[in-house]
Structure 1
Amino acid sequence: MLRQNTNHSECGYVLSITPYRETDGMVQFLGETSGLIRLVLPAYYKPKSKQGNLGLEFTYVRYRFNSQENRLNRIIGGDILNNYKELRSNMSWLLDMSLIREVLVRTYSGENEKWVYDAFHKFMQESDSRYQLVLFLVNTIERHGFNPDVSGCVVCGSPLINEFSVRQGGFLCNRHSHRQDSKYLLMMMKGLFSKSDVSKYAAEGKIDAVVERLLQYIEFYFDIRLKTWELIKEIGEYEV
């Protein structure tokens, strides 16, 4: 027995679009209730297409699409709710968006991932995108059970910490460390993973260095390589 087609309306974010068939596009959509899904946007690449604006990356939209389980669903209409026009000329914003998108897609499991939409939505609403990026990365690490040990040195338990080690999964003391991290980075790592509010301290040091260490941590424990981060390092956008 065939399943009956039902039309569904949902708000969410366009993360990317790529060619699909003929003039159709394949949208990677982060929906408020559906989570991360793929949808076909008909005639997106057709000259003078009326669907053109609905596939713009990093926009907040309301899509109407046919909803059928285990099928590739097609967008039948929609509205742009926010195209973030004032931010699109900002290279830092675009790079942050590309980075958070790659982390989101590469680590998304599909199980109990409502927090992903909520965290991404908050990221899009805040003016300090770099700090919100930090919070998103921390959330990603914690939600997948890769929490580092920030109670003291992971080897001997000493509270006199000297380094945040990716490989060791937490702090190391002077005796067991191989480098000296800044007090700012150590303080931020301690606060972030012990649920302390470090927002007022975030601007006092190089938050880009915190982003870098968190990304190194994610790459190591998720066993992935983030191409966007490699690009950012090449062009020197972050101060680490």
Structure 2
Amino acid sequence: MSRISVRGFAVASATAVTTVGAVVGVASGNPQSPNDNLETTAADATLIADIPMGQQAQVQVASLTEQADAQAAVADASAKKAAEEDARVQAAKTAKAKKAAADAKVEQEREAKEKAEKEKAEKEREAKEKAERASRDAERDTASDSSVGTASFTAKGSYTVAEVKAIARQIVPAGQFQCFSNIVQHESTWNYQAQNPSSGAYGLVQAYPGSKMSSVGADWRTNPATQIKWGLNYMNERYDSPCGAWSFWQANRWY
């Protein structure tokens, strides 16, 4: 039954009821206003018309379906957005991890390179020092061979500076002579009989006491060759070479 037919039925029924009620009211001596009956009839007709049926029910079902679809669409969009955010976060973490790994690799390569360079430099330094020690040892051996005993030098009553220097060149290795000469020049100005009045140091290299030079020869007071040999041995043993002794002398003004 349609909305129109329902409402028509309701109106017709209300009219009939009103008519019967009016007759009954007159007969019973209780007359009732026709307007009151019409208001009652209208109210009843409205209540019947408001019942959802037919097309109204279909509209309500369609509305609920649309609401469910809308909610599902919102849920799908939220899930998609959450998935995209998770993917973005994961991509950022992956990129960060890759960068950290790359940085770590670069740092390891840098450290390995520095270590290799240090090891190479250390080996080169050790090889250089070894070669220098070998060279000094060879020079020392040569000096020892050339200064074995002082008998090879003709003893004289006195020596000039030039003669003393000539003897020194025969005893001291060529590469160390200048350093040796610098020390002797400062200590005694090449005077093999020089003596320090306050300390008692004696000779070309100012040995203290001068009697130390007797380990090379008993003629340490008068033979410059004996003094030179002792001085060379002293510099080699204490400073590794005359040049080592000269470096110390320059820093301290003594050796």
Shorter-chain-normalised TM-score: which range?
under 0.3
More helix by share: 2
Greater relative contact order (Cα < 8 A, sep 6+): 1
* Structure label with greater radius of gyration: 2
The alignment's TM-score, normalised by the length of structure 2, stands at 0.19
Could you tell me the TM-score, scaled by structure 1's length? 0.20
